Amino acid sequence: MTSILELKDISLDYPDGLDDQGQPRTVRALDRVSLTLKAGDFKALTGSSGSGKSSLLSVAAGLIQPSSGQRLIQGQDTSSYSEAQLARLRREKIGLIFQQPNLIPSLTALEQLEVMARISGLGGAQLKEARSRAADLLDLVGLKDQASVSGSILPGP
Ligand SMILES: Nc1ncnc2c1ncn2[C@@H]1O[C@H](COP(=O)(O)OP(=O)(O)OP(=O)(O)O)[C@@H](O)[C@H]1O
Ligand SMILES: [Mg+2]
């Protein structure tokens, strides 16, 4: 079976100011990391502060490109995707929940869950289906009563 995600020898360098000679310096956040995830896998990533967890997840999720190495998503090499291709990849294939909530204050709880369907241009029956699924998901996590509550006053995690 094709892996959902495969990282091969991923390295990531961030710019880190200038050295004594005025040359750009870099800091290596990831050093040849490899990882394979199959459908249904559940993995946790642990490590001390600054060890590169957020950097690895950012590369894995297509938020940033690695400095070297390959990222395959469902077998497709996405390591040299353009920004537009990456944006489409994230919209269609990747779900990410950040440490800080990224709710849109002007939308209700239900509307937050419809955002991706709307951005993807779904309409008619498909949008209706997305809305019904959003309502089911709120129900599943015990937030059915909060469906019309604004993102600005929804309780945090
Ligand atoms: N945008 C950035 N620019 C420069 N250096 C960065 C940047 N982001 C992270 N770093 C550096 O990269 C290394 C890895 O950082 P990262 O944030 O991935 O670690 P982390 O494991 O998520 O840490 P924490 O547990 O504190 O969240 C650290 O040395 C950090 O200082
Ligand atoms: Mg982090």
Task: Name the residue of 10, 12, 14 whose CB sits within 8 Å of the most ligand 1 atoms, as the mutation to test its pocket.
Answer: 14
* pLDDT tens track for 117-149: 888 888 899 999 999 999 999 999 999 999 998
Identify which ligand lies nearest to the alpha carbon of 51.
1
Answer whether residue 156 shows pLDDT above 80: no
Ligand 1: residues within 6 Å at CB? 14, 16, 27, 29, 47, 49-55
What is the end-to-end Cα distance of the chain in Å, rounded? 35
Distances in Å between the alpha carbon of 15 and those of 29, 68, 139, 141?
Answer: 10, 15, 45, 41
Residue-range domains of the chain with CATH: 5-18+25-93 (3.40.50.300), 97-157 (no CATH)
* Nearest Cα to Cα of residue 109 among 143, 140, 132: 143
Q: What is the pLDDT of residues 1-25, one digit of tens each?
A: 779 999 999 999 999 999 999 999 9
Give the ligand at the shortest distance from the Cα of 98: 2
